[in-house]
Structure 1
Amino acid sequence: MTDRIEVRRTIAAAPADVFAVLCDPQGHVAIDSSGMLQAATGEPVTAVGDEFVVHMDREALNDFPDMGRYDVTVRITEYEQDRLIAWTILGQIKPPIGHVYGYRLDPDGDATTVTSFYDWSDIDQKWRDAGIFPVISEPALRATLGVLDRTVRRGYPRG
């Protein structure tokens, strides 16, 4: 069994247009297929170490009904303009879980091949023993790429 999921989709847009959505906290909310991301607070990210807050609602997954609404901090761990963005999630859970989400963008003519990845290979042993990974499934990652495609084609961030 692997500790990483990767899915790909070609989007008919330039890498810069796709990357703009992925760097914007509101973009994360706009493309989330799980329904957990309710809102975000913060500025678009521009470098490793940048952070923003996402207001979550775990009831959307109904896997932990007692979690309800909570906030997490997204911390950027990898950043290459128009090519790569990855982040980990910081919250009130101790020790921090240590899973990583991200996107790799590869130019493909007038389009961009977007690889979405979710990696829990370095999670804390406490969370590995809990048997809760992956939290987000491969179909959910694929769905988010579909929403990303639609969002970019609609001219994000246009209302």
Structure 2
Amino acid sequence: MTNDERFEVRRLIAATPAEIFGVLREPRGHVAIDSSGMLQSADGETVGQVGDEFVVHMDREALNDLPMGKYDVTVIITRFVEDAELEWTISGTIQPPIKHLYGYQLEARDGGTLVTSYYDWSQIEDRYRGKVNFPIIPEAGLRATLGILARTVEQR
């Protein structure tokens, strides 16, 4: 699905929803599967509910689109359904937060789990429209991250 302010990609991964969710709920799991190269490391505990947070150390030079260099963001969980849904927004250098959302939906299927990854910038603050280029992560980046996620969980 793609529209002007949201896109999503899907992939069948040969692992259970619990195995995949185990990677997604770990701060270091986000770093391990990132295809953009921006996520350098993370600090924080395993997330378990809406409102949980962790810190990701970023390097914008990987995208080379804004002169932000290295910085930190706080990932804030906005949707959490065990082994089924995980969504988050970020708060960081740019304040107030932009309010773009990233997320995963997991559906058990024959042969594994259908994983949907999405990026939604439909709720961004008006002050950022036209000033920050969206999408920050292209659709191909989400596809590549799903590939890394598949490789990660299928080799366990």
The question of a shared fold, defined as TM-score above 0.5 by the shorter chain, is answered with yes
Q: What aligned pairs does 1:30-69 form with structure 2 within 5 A after superposition?
A: 30-64=32-66, 66-69=67-70
Supply the distance in 2 between the matched residues of 1:84 and 1:132 (Cα, whole angstroms): 27
Cα deviation digits, residues 81-131 of structure 1 (max 9, x gap): 000000000113122100000000000024000000000000001111215
Partner of 1:70: 71
Query: In the alignment, residue 63 of structure 2 is paired with which amino acid?
Result: L
Q: What aligned pairs does 1:5-154 form with structure 2 within 5 A after superposition?
A: 5-64=7-66, 66-154=67-155
Query: In the alignment, residue 123 of structure 1 is paired with which amino acid?
Result: I
Supply the distance in 2 between the matched residues of 1:37 and 1:141 (Cα, whole angstroms): 14
- Which runs of 5 or more residues in structure 1 are unaligned? none
Q: How many residues align?
A: 154
Query: In the alignment, residue 43 of structure 1 is paired with which amino acid?
Result: E
Query: In the alignment, residue 142 of structure 1 is paired with which amino acid?
Result: R
Q: Which runs of 4+ in 1 moved over 2 A?
A: none
Contact kept, 8 Å, 2:71 with 2:93, in 1: the verdict is no
Q: TM-score normalized by structure 1?
A: 0.94
Supply the distance in 2 between the matched residues of 1:23 and 1:80 (Cα, whole angstroms): 11
Alpha-carbon offset, residue 28 of structure 1: 0.1
Q: TM-score normalized by structure 2?
A: 0.96
Partner SS for 1:94: coil
